[in-house]
Chains A and B, each alone.
Chain A
Amino acid sequence: MLPPKFDYVAPKSVSEAIGLLKSNGEGAKVIAGGQSLIPLLKLRLASPTLLVDIGRIPGLDYIRESEGFLRIGAMTRMADVAGSELLRRKYPIFHDASTVIADPLVRNLGTVGGNVSHGDPSNDLPAVTLALGADFAVEGPSGGRVIRARDFFVDTFTVALNHDDILTEVRVPMPKSMSGGAYLKVEQKVADFATAGVAVFLHVGAKGICESAGIGLTAVGPKAIEATKAEEAITGQKLTDGPALDRAAVLAAEASDPTSDIRGTAEYKRSLVRLMVVRALKLAYRRSRSGGTK
C-alpha cells in the first residue's frame, strides 16, 4: 500500500520545525517514530501535504531527573523507556507500559511523544500520564507552555496541540513521599491494542493510608479517561481495606465508557476495568512499600 504523495522535510531544530508547520498550514504534520502515522498514511486516513520529521532534531531523546521532575524527551524511543534502569527502579509504571506497547520492533522506533500526541484512546501512555499527573511541555510559534495531562486528551485522535505546536517533553513530578505505580493491560495477543488497560499511581502515608491516587483508563472510551471519582474514593482510605478498593474499582468502571467490538462487549470491558483497578491498586501499594517492580 502506497501512502498518498507528500513532501518531506527534516529540520534540525524545534524552532525550524515550528516555522515549517506554521508556514505550511494545516496540511503539514509532524512525524516522530512514524509507527502510528505511517500505517494511517497507507490506509489514507491521513493525507498531509508535508511531513515534518522531528527525528533529526538533536536533544529530544533523554530520560533524566532534574529540578524536581522526571523528564522524558518526546523523541525517546519506547525501547529506551523499556530498557531504562531508572524507570524500572523508580517509575515501574513506565516499565510496565513500555513493555506491553505494540511489539519490540515497533518499540525500537515508536516514541513517547508520538504515543501521547496521537490521541488514540487505545494507546497506553495517555492513561499512565493521567495517573501520574504528568505535564506536557509544548513549543509553539509564540513560545513554550505546559499542558497538564488531564487537559491534553480532548477526544479520539484529538489532543490540545495546535497544528504548529510540538510536544517536546513529558514531565512527572518526582514523588516526595512513599509512592508506587502500576500499569496493567489485557490484550488478546502480543502487539494488539488493549482490550482494556488500567494505570494507577499512589502516594502512601503512615499506616498504609492513601494520600493521593491517580487512576487512568486505556481503551474504554473515546479518549483516555481519568477516573476522578475513584481517585477521590480511595484517597484517605487504608490500602489494605479490601472493600475500599472494591468501591474505588466500581467507580472507575462507572467512569469508563467502552464500546462493544471484536475484543469484547462493553459489559465485559467494564468488568475488566473493575478487576484490574483492584489488582493495580494492590500492586502499586506493594511497590510503594518494597520500592521495586515486584
Chain B
Amino acid sequence: MAETRHIVLSVNGEERQADVEPRLLLVHFLRESLGLTGTHSGCDTTNCGACTVLMDGRAVKSCTVLAVQAEGRKILTVEGLSQRGKLHPVQEAFLAGHGLQCGFCTSGMLMSSYALLARNPNPTEDEIRTAISGNLCRCTGYVQIIESIQKASALMRKQRARADG
C-alpha cells in the first residue's frame, strides 16, 4: 500500500505541493501542513461548518474532503479574503456589524457568505438564511450575522458601482 500521494493544488492563489496520506482530511492539511489555522475544525462530523473553505468557487466542509480529492483544485481559505492588508468587505461588515461573539464559527461564516455574494450580489434574507444553514453559531442567534451579510452585500455593490462609474 502506497504510504503517501503527491498533491499539487492552489491555496489562496499560491501553488502548494505536499506528500500526504490518502486519509488526510483537507482541514488538517490546511491547518497542520500549511499552518493556515484560520480554518477551524469544529465538530468534525460534517455538521457545524466551522471548517468551510471554497473549492473551485464552491463552499465545502473541509473536514469532509480528503486532501487528495483537492488535488489540482483551487482552495480559498479565510486567510485569502483580505487583499494587500485590506479586509474584504465581508470581513469589514462582520466587524462593523458585530456578526460574531466567540468567533469560532466566524471563518466558516465568512466563507459561506463570500460564496453566496459571489453568485448572488443582492440576496434576500431567506437566501442568506439558506446559504448559512450549514454553518452553526452557538452564540449569536444569527441576527447580527444576517445583518452583517446584508451590510457586506451593500458594501460590495457600492464598491462595484464606484469601480464601474
Binding site for B on A (CB under 8 A): 1-8, 10, 31, 34-35, 38-39, 41-42, 49, 51, 53, 55, 79, 102-106, 108-109, 190-191
Contacts of B103 in A (CB 8 A): none
B52 on the A face (CB < 8 A) = yes
Query: B2–A35 contact, CB under 8 A?
Result: no
Query: B22–A7 contact, CB under 8 A?
Result: yes
18 contacts between A and B (CB under 8 A): A2-B25, A7-B2, A7-B22, A8-B5, A8-B66, A31-B66, A39-B46, A42-B44, A51-B22, A51-B66, A102-B134, A104-B131, A104-B134, A105-B52, A105-B134, A106-B64, A191-B47, A191-B133
Query: A5–B23 contact, CB under 8 A?
Result: yes
> How far, in angstroms, from A34 to B55 measured CA to CA in the complex?
14
B112 on the A face (CB < 8 A) = yes
Most buried by A among B22, B44, B65, B135: B22
Contacts of B52 in A (CB 8 A): 105
| Number of B residues, CB within 8 Å of A | 30
**What's the minimum C-beta distance from B119 to chain A, rounded to whole angstroms?**
10
Contacts of A105 in B (CB 8 A): 49, 52, 59-61, 112, 134-135
User: Given A6-B23, A34-B69, A79-B58: A104 and B44 within 8 A (CB)?
Assistant: no
Within 8 A of A (CB), among B64-80: 64-66, 68-69, 71
Query: A1–B44 contact, CB under 8 A?
Result: yes
Within 8 A of A (CB), among B13-56: 21-23, 25, 44-47, 49, 52, 55
| Among candidates B1, B5, B71, residue contacting A49 with C-beta atoms closer than 8 Å | B1
Query: A55–B69 contact, CB under 8 A?
Result: yes
User: Given A1-B44, A104-B59: A38 and B22 within 8 A (CB)?
Assistant: no
Contacts of B140 in A (CB 8 A): none
| Among candidates A4, A10, A34, A49, residue contacting B64 with C-beta atoms closer than 8 Å | A34
* A-B interface, 5 closest residue pairs, ranked by CB to CB distance from nearest: A103-B134, A8-B22, A105-B134, A108-B58, A3-B23
Contacts of B49 in A (CB 8 A): 103, 105
> How far, in angstroms, from A108 to B115 measured CA to CA in the complex?
11
Contacts of B58 in A (CB 8 A): 79, 108-109
Contacts of A49 in B (CB 8 A): 1
**What's the minimum C-beta distance from A76 to chain B, rounded to whole angstroms?**
14
> How far, in angstroms, from A105 to B59 measured CA to CA in the complex?
6
**What's the minimum C-beta distance from A61 to chain B, rounded to whole angstroms?**
13
Binary contact readout B91-103 vs A (1 if CB under 8 angstroms, 0 otherwise): 0000000000000
Query: B64–A38 contact, CB under 8 A?
Result: yes
